[in-house]
Amino acid sequence: MKVIVGLGNPGIRYALTRHNIGFWVVDRLAEEWKIPVQKERWKALVGEGRVNGEKVVLLKPETYMNLSGESVRPALEWLKCDVESLLVIYDDLDLPPGRIRLRMKGSAGGHRGVQSLVDHLGTQEFKRIKIGIGRPDVPIPIPDYVLSRFARKEEEPIAEAVERSAEAVRQWMEHPFPEVMNRFNRNLSTDQ
């Protein structure tokens, strides 16, 4: 079983903001795999299906970003699977807009949604895809920045990053994550 979690905030008000890019990747996969993410369970919107013969759970926590662990931990417990089956997709301020980075583990790096996961799961060792949203060019509080929309010049690299992230998930369905991670991270210097 694979549990793929996109982090974001619920509701139309936040749908197109930087902080919701994890949701965008889950939505992209849901559309491709024809797995509706509509069931309300574990304080999340959930979709379940099969891809290449393997059970897949797509999950978008509805707890608001900073409480994401309140959704993910009960989901894993109910599904009787451990963090080995988990992949989390979220925004990263420290990567330029459009760059992605895959990791097997790591600290929250100041990301409160990830910190909530670490706190509730009791470990930093879960797979992740971080999608760069960059830092603001002008002085602006970080909460305001992550809840803002992308600038027009960022739209194309962000769309490409969503597609590359979805491709990384597709490859994880067939290959070990370290192999996928090496493949995608190897080209970081050429990412825009």
Q: In this structure, are residues 124 and 118 in contact, taking their beta carbons and an 8 Å threshold?
A: yes
Please, is 174 exposed, middle or buried when counting C-beta atoms within 10 Å of its C-beta (0-12, 13-18, 19+)? exposed
Predicted local confidence at residue 142, as pLDDT:
86
User: Is 19 one of the catalytic residues?
Assistant: yes
Please, is 119 exposed, middle or buried when counting C-beta atoms within 10 Å of its C-beta (0-12, 13-18, 19+)? middle
Give the global pTM: 0.91
Give the pLDDT confidence of 71-104 residue by residue, as tens digits.
999 999 999 998 999 999 999 988 989 899 999 9
Distance between terminal CA atoms of the chain?
A: 33
Q: If DSSP codes are grouped into helix, strand and coil, which group holds residue 126? A: coil
Give dist(CA 143, CA 105) in Å, integer. Answer: 24
CA within 13 Å, CB half, 131:
30
Q: List the catalytic residue out of 19, 111, 120, 175.
A: 19
Give the pLDDT confidence of 134-192 residue by residue, as tens digits.
888 888 888 889 888 888 988 899 999 999 999 999 999 999 999 999 988 876 544 43
